[in-house]
Chains A and B, each alone.
Chain A
């Protein structure tokens, strides 16, 4: 499942609209335990498409977002019975 998720996310980063990638990333974080790759994918999106100026002066949005989602999903997963 982990490998499949990784392949889908990489394909999505390259070809699909960013909101689809974001949705898949969030789902993967919740569905797969310790999905560390999410942080790397966040960094990759910023590296591929981001600039120093970012959006409204905010750069590294996806890197920060993926870190937040990673830790948030870990906390929620520990407190919820799936």
Chain B
């Protein structure tokens, strides 16, 4: 019993002790699992019938065609935005480093990710974490020599300042786990389903997309439910912004 109290005390007073001790072994196991899952996925893909692949290919070609025009416009606008920021000397500091996600929810009950880059790669606590280059998902919570723990913004109870791009309303949102958020805005605010939610920052990064709006006629506030545009359970790579 004394031994267990000692174990618990060690964890309470030195919260990084066990992680530092066991992460190297766990990290190896997670890497093997990732490779195995990747290999199985590859096998499953090659087993698909030619017919279904042809159909999928046709659908994808159609989708790409329809998005090409809007993408061209988006690239032009992005370039223009960057040029304007450069002219006004508002260049975001730091550089981006790529990390492989070793483990993610639902394995992690705390809505955290463990990634394979750490202090040896220049990662620091508080660094912002992105995925798919434009989606911001969280920040670095703990750093070890070769691993880091990412706390997602959607961690249940975590509060964060957000901006609804459609109506330009700045409010506080609360994480609900699994990439979901909840926020209260005045009922008169012009927010629609599909509106983009960002962090109020000089660099434009998407935090979520409005999924549902709950309006109560007796309440002067509406409840907005929004979600990260990517599936948190499927993230394989993240980008971490580090100082130069």
Are A and B subunits of one complex? yes
B-binding residues in A (CB < 8 A): 14-19, 36, 39-40, 43-57, 60-63, 67
A-binding residues in B (CB < 8 A): 4, 7-8, 11-12, 15, 17-19, 22-23, 26, 29-30, 33, 103, 106-112, 114, 141-142, 149, 151, 155-158, 177
In the A-B complex, the 3 residue pairs with the smallest Cβ-Cβ separation, listed nearest first, are A47-B18, A56-B157, A18-B109
- A15-B33, A43-B8 are known contacts. Are A55 and B111 too (CB-CB below 8 A)? yes
Q: B11 contacts A63, CB within 8 Å?
A: yes
Majority secondary structure, A binding face: helix
- Give the residues in chain A near B106, CB-CB below 8 Å: 17-19
Interface centre among B15, B108, B109, B156 (most CB of A within 10 A): B109
Complex CA distance for A66 and B232, rounded to whole angstroms: 27
Complex CA distance for A55 and B108, rounded to whole angstroms: 12
CB distance from B216 to the nearest CB of A (A): 24
A-B CB contact pairs (8 Å), 5 listed: A48-B18, A49-B107, A49-B108, A51-B151, A55-B111
Closest to A15 in B: B33
- A55-B110, A57-B157 are known contacts. Are A48 and B19 too (CB-CB below 8 A)? yes
Instruction: Choose one: B8, B29, B103, B151; the contact of A53 (CB below 8 Å).
Output: B151
- A18-B108, A39-B4, A53-B158 are known contacts. Are A48 and B11 too (CB-CB below 8 A)? no
- Give the residues in chain A near B155, CB-CB below 8 Å: 51, 53, 55
- Give the residues in chain B near A52, CB-CB below 8 Å: 15, 141
- A15-B33, A53-B151, A57-B157 are known contacts. Are A43 and B11 too (CB-CB below 8 A)? yes
Instruction: Choose one: A44, A53, A55, A62; the contact of B22 (CB below 8 Å).
Output: A44
